[in-house]
Amino acid sequence: MEAADEYRKVLLRDISHELHEPLTRLQVAVGIALQASRRNDQALGKELEQVRREGNRLDELIGQILDLSRLEYRSGLQRQLIEVDRLVATVVEDAEPLAASRGSRIIVEANPPMCLNGDAYSLSTVVDNLVRNALVPTPRVTTVRVRVGDVGEAIQIQVEDDGPGVSEEFAGRMLDPFVRGRASPASPGAGAGLALVSVRSRLMGARSARVRGKMGTVSS
């Protein structure tokens, strides 16, 4: 099992590096063609715009895969005192345009001030991935709640949506790489974002990172 996991990590890293270069060339070529098409052909421009968006999505996914691969090989963190409520508010503010574009809203429930000693970038990535995972996979999410509270001496960050939820079968596996647990197999994404949540949470010393399913999805 350990050998298989090691092979998967190496393969994941190598494939990601191999994909980056041709994808970059594709994006440059499409950008040039798009500029030319705007002067001559609106229909072609529309199609090229779609290709560029898909290329950007692939680039983002590959970046997440590379990030996951790097994290699994290193454990160094830049620890500092973090005001968790402010960090969460900033992440949510950045995600609000996405929420608005999907007819959703994000509600933050926090009792400031809340501070911890941790890696600010890692914590931002965790919260951002949880929020965007709640917003992106389904158009049926209207409200996403982000709760920040004390649980004993620990701080819990919980993201809950009111969408169709996930099956119990997949809820416990959604933090694994490349596992998708939404109701529809056509849902976008490959699970890399939630896998990053799991890895970064472990590196920061979190007690647990989990997903609960059925009606709506709760990630914490």
Tokens of 43: 């229909």
What is the band of 186 on the pLDDT scale with cuts at 50, 70, 90?
very low
pLDDT score recorded for residue 117? 87
Where does the chain hold its CATH 1.10.287.130 domain(s)?
Answer: 2-73
What is the band of 160 on the pLDDT scale with cuts at 50, 70, 90?
confident
Q: Tell me if the bond preceding 113 is cis, omega within 30° of 0.
A: yes
CA end-to-end distance (rounded Å), the chain: 28
Proportion of the chain above pLDDT 70, given as a percent: 53
Tokens of 215: 């009606």
What is the band of 118 on the pLDDT scale with cuts at 50, 70, 90?
confident
pLDDT score recorded for residue 14? 57
Place of tokens 């197999």: 185
Query: Is the pLDDT score of 126 beyond 90?
Result: no
pLDDT digits (tens, 9 = 90+) for 70-117: 665 555 567 889 999 999 999 999 888 888 888 889 999 987 788 888
Q: Which of 59, 34, 60 is nearest to 49 (CA)?
A: 34
Instruction: Give pTM, 2 decimals.
Output: 0.61
CATH top-level class for 2-73? mainly alpha
Mean pLDDT of all residues in 178-182: 52
Tokens of 112: 């400031």
Catalytic status, residue 17: yes
DSSP conformation class of 180: -
Tokens of 100: 């608005």
**Is the Cα dihedral 176, 180, 13, 98 positive or negative?**
negative
> What residues contact residue 154 under an 8 Å CB cut-off, 6+ apart?
207
CATH top-level class for 79-219? alpha beta
pLDDT digits (tens, 9 = 90+) for 3-52: 446 545 655 665 666 666 667 767 777 777 777 777 666 666 666 776 77
What is the band of 211 on the pLDDT scale with cuts at 50, 70, 90?
low
Largest CA distance in the chain: 64
User: Of 10, 15, 17, 60, which residue is the catalytic one?
Assistant: 17
Query: Is the pLDDT score of 189 beyond 50?
Result: no
pLDDT score recorded for residue 89? 93
